[in-house]
Structures are given as C-alpha cells and as structure tokens.
Amino acid sequence: MTITTRKATLGGLASLGVLALLAACAPAPTEDAGNADVESDFLPCIVSDFGGFQDKSFNQSSYEGISNAADELGVEFNQAESTSEDQYAGNVTSMVDGGCSFILNVGFALANATRDAAQANPDVQFALIDSALSNDDFSPLELDNVKPVLYDTAQAAFLAGYLAAGTTQTGTVGTFGGMQYPSVTIFMDGFADGIDYYNTEKSADVKLTGWDKAAQEGLFAGGFDDQNVGKTLSQGLIDAGADIILPVAGPLFQGTAQAIADSGKDVAIVGVDSDLFETTPEFGEMYLTSITKSMTDATEMIITDAAEGDFSSEPYVGTLENEGVGLAPLHDWESKVDPALMTEVDEIREQIISGDIVVTSDATPK
C-alpha cells in the first residue's frame, strides 16, 4: 500500500510517455477559472484498485483526471495505491482520516468500501468508478454523498464487434474477461451483439469464442494481475482460430500481445478503457482499435464541480452521445480495413445515438 500527498504534476508518471497524450484529450481549462470559488481546505483524494496507477488502463486514466483537476484548481491531492484487495477498506479509511473532502475510488471492487465509508462519513463526498452501490442483499442503494461514474460500454463494444466481424480473415473472433463482473461482461455483451448484427446484415457466419451472451458464460482469467494467465487464454483463442481478440481484463492485454508475438500469426487486439496505441505503444501494430471510456475527462469534471460546491450524487453515465464511450482510431490498422466498413460503423454509431439501434446488456447502467 502506498499513500502519498501530491501537488498536481505530471512528473510522477511522465516517464511512461503516456500522460501528456491523455491530457491532450481533456478539454483545456480556462485560466484560473473558478479558483476563487474553491474552498481553501478542499482536498481531493484517489484510491486505486490493485491494478495500481500505472496499469495503463482505468486506474491510470482516473489518476490523470484528478491530477488535471488539482492542477486547474491549484490544490494538492492525496493518493492511496492498493496492491491487494484486502487493502481497499483500509485505504479508503486512511483517506477519510487524512482529511479528504472528496474521494475518488477506482473500480467496482471498491463498491462496498465506498458504501461503508460514505455511510459512516456523510460529510465526505465520494465518486465510484464503474459501479453503483448496493446493500448487502444486493438491492440498489443511493447515498447523497456518493456519485456513481458509469459507462454504457456495450454501445461502443457493439461498434467494435461489427468492425471485428468485418475485418477477420479466419471468421473467428475471441474474447475473455478478467472476472465476471458487470463492468466486464458489458463489453463482451456489446461485442457479441455487434458480431451478430454484422452476420445478420451481411448473411455472414463470423463466430465468437470465449463468450455466450445468452447463457452469460465464457472465458475468464479469475483476476486482473496475472499476465501468464492472459497469455495462456489468448493462446487458446488463437489456437481456436481467432485472429482478433478482445481482452476485457485490465493490463492482461499485455499477455495477449505476448501470445500473439509467440504465435507468429497476424492477430489483432481490441483494447478496452484507454486507447492502447497511446498508452502502450510498444504493441502498436497489434491494435485494431480500442473501446474507450472517457475517464480522464469525467473525473476531472466531477472533481472540479465538487470543489466549486456543485457536487451531485446523480450518476454520470458515459454514452456514445455524450462521448463518454467510443472507438479509438485504427492507427496502424487503417490501411488494412476497408473504408466502406468504417463508413458502416459510423452510420451504426449514429443509429445507436438516435435510438434506431438499441444495444442492451444485463449490465447496462440503469
């Protein structure tokens, strides 16, 4: 467990060569805008899940959001980096005890720790990435001091599934998840539906291995930290004929990249959360696209609002319409994909936004 206080700076992670690119995606703050309205004792804080702030995924994107917000506001922020699941409650408590006025907890695994801390500390404001709250009996729970930050990633994953189905040369596409959580399966559901839609529209027979949406059964690593498991699962998908793989398992996509390199085959990765071409460029030639969640922008906005007295417990839901989710550019794969297929993907995106195509998942934010 690592707990530190940071003045807003990119220096702590700049060596990754990533954060400047991520920051470029965020809207430029107006000079000193709103600073006069910020309470002098406002202290934002962040707690990671065990992936850590350098996971090249949602923890890192959320960290960049709080860093940007603190920089704009001219305040310091605290951070607690979890290295195991049993640290979640203690890390959140340490932030409360440290005087944090706003705590951003990153990941669905921190839902119970967030709930318990928020109920015990009603004067502290919280935001929770990728999950709403529930009681012990799993009934929904809303608290005035907790803002769920949710993403309808099935919408963007639908586009990725259609793109993958139109790009595969083997007729087989694969996927696997880290663990069977709603924030994981929502990607897999949308991906499966996008492939089915392509098959219907084109009278094709592209197969998806690794996930059965109807049965809600599929291939899972059992966690998000063992690269060897990610590599083994990916090798199995490659052996089954998949030439495009969607790993919904945080940093385990790096195991997928290793499996592809070892196979010597022309296999592509569809990334999740961030544009992997920018966050992990060493595997750039392998990325077909990424299903992105705009966590940096959302967290920066939510923290800035809280600092200026505009905190709201109303859930934020990222969609295609508000650009909270989307598809990354094709980058090195652009020359390999038929432009007509991308035109179709763009048209489908507009049909989802208009409601002409409705993408559903059991995990769709309500």
Same domain, 209 and 347: yes
Same domain, 137 and 26: yes
Under a CB-based contact definition with an 8 Å cutoff, are residues 330 and 315 in contact?
A: no
Q: What is the pLDDT of residues 144-153, one digit of tens each?
A: 999 999 999 9
Closest to 269 in 3D by CA, of 334, 173, 196: 173
Give all strands of the β-sheet with 44-47 in edge-to-edge order: 2-7, 76-81, 44-47, 102-106, 125-129, 146-151, 316-318
Under a CB-based contact definition with an 8 Å cutoff, are residues 230 and 283 in contact?
A: no
CATH code for position 49: 3.40.50.2300
Using only C-alpha atoms, the chain has a radius of gyration, in whole angstroms, of 20
Residue type, 286: M
Same domain, 219 and 70: no
Residue 52's pLDDT is 80
Question: What tokens appear for 357 in the block?
Answer: 């195509």
Same domain, 179 and 194: yes
- What string of DSSP letters covers 133-150? EE-TTS-EE--TTEEEEE
Same domain, 108 and 87: yes
Please give the span between the terminal C-alpha atoms of the chain, in angstroms, as a whole number.
34
Same domain, 300 and 181: no
Q: Angle CA(77)–CA(7)–CA(250) in degrees, nearest 5? A: 60
SS3 state at 191: helix
Inside any domain, residue 365: no
Inside any domain, residue 240: yes
**Reported confidence tier of residue 38, pLDDT bands at 50, 70, 90:** low
Inside any domain, residue 182: yes
pLDDT higher at 313 or 33: 313
Inside any domain, residue 364: no
Q: Can you give the pTM of this predicted structure?
A: 0.84
Q: Which domain holds residue 231?
A: 153-293+330-354
Residue type, 292: T
Same domain, 29 and 42: yes
Inside any domain, residue 362: no
Res 1 pLDDT > 80: no
Q: What is the DSSP letter of 171?
A: S
Specify the number of domains making up the chain. Answer: 2
CB atoms < 10 A from the CB of 77, how many? 25
Under a CB-based contact definition with an 8 Å cutoff, are residues 361 and 181 in contact?
A: no
Residue with tokens 């559901």: 189
Res 26 pLDDT > 80: no
Indicate the pairing of strand 268-273 with strand 217-218: unpaired
Q: What is the pLDDT of residues 161-217, one digit of tens each?
A: 999 999 999 999 999 999 999 999 999 999 999 999 999 999 999 999 999 999 999
Same domain, 122 and 241: no
Residue type, 364: T
